Amino acid sequence: MQGRIAFFDSGVGGLALLAECSGRFPGEKYLYYGDNANAPYGNRGDREICALADRAFAEIARREIAAAVIACNTVTAECAGSLRRRYPFPIFGIEPAIRPAAAAGGKVLVLATRATLRSARVAALLRENETRAEIACFCPARLAEAVEAAAPDLSALRLEEHLPPGRYDGVVLGCTHYALIGRAIARYYSCPVYDGVAETVDHLQKKLNIRSENASKRAKIDVIFAGSGKIRNEMVFFGLK
């Protein structure tokens, strides 16, 4: 495949997707663009979110890109359509894994940013699955910001300061920043979490026809890190492995 697979997020959250994809297909070339100077996006207005995303994609498009992944639920929900119309390469997105969580039944908690929860796409997903499970939504106002500030050492985050109490049968992590602490959230609620990361990479593999023979055993993944503000380097990425 000619060109790099680009991953875009408002900050470090998309590293969960990059880690999943590069771990499965280390022979591919990658670009990670984090808009760290403006992270997180979740509490911003729709127009501002799309303007920031478009500015980032304009920078991404300067390189040879085979495809791009919006590794941000908020940007996928608000801007995926306009970005696909503007740029020539395939653009994929991630959305809250409400379907698989609801399919398991019981009580489901959806954790997502304010912008994601108010989007038409997520509202449609909730309507489609409301009869399959008892679904509650919650916006942890500063959790994405806390993850962004603490990365790469996320062990000191106090989840009780950000998450609602309760007993649930499943928790949807509707923000890729939350996926970075998915194991901790699973322990906190003693239930499975659904982040959509593996499913997004499955879809990417199918659409781009990424073959298993590309997964050569390299000592180092070919990935370029770029972005705004404080650029996260390879040590952060390998710290997630």
Q: Which residues contact 112 (CB under 8 A, 6 or more apart)?
A: 42, 73, 96, 122, 137, 139, 172, 174, 175
Contact 171, 29 (CB under 8 A): no
Please confirm, yes or no, whether 137 is among the known catalytic residues: no
Cα 107 from Cα 125, distance rounded (Å): 16
Please confirm, yes or no, whether 139 is among the known catalytic residues: no
Cα 87 from Cα 85, distance rounded (Å): 6
Options 21, 50, 139, 175, the catalytic residue: 175
Options 72, 79, 139, 191, the catalytic residue: 72
Cα 158 from Cα 112, distance rounded (Å): 18
Give 111's strand partners. 138, 173
Annotated catalytic residues are 72, 175
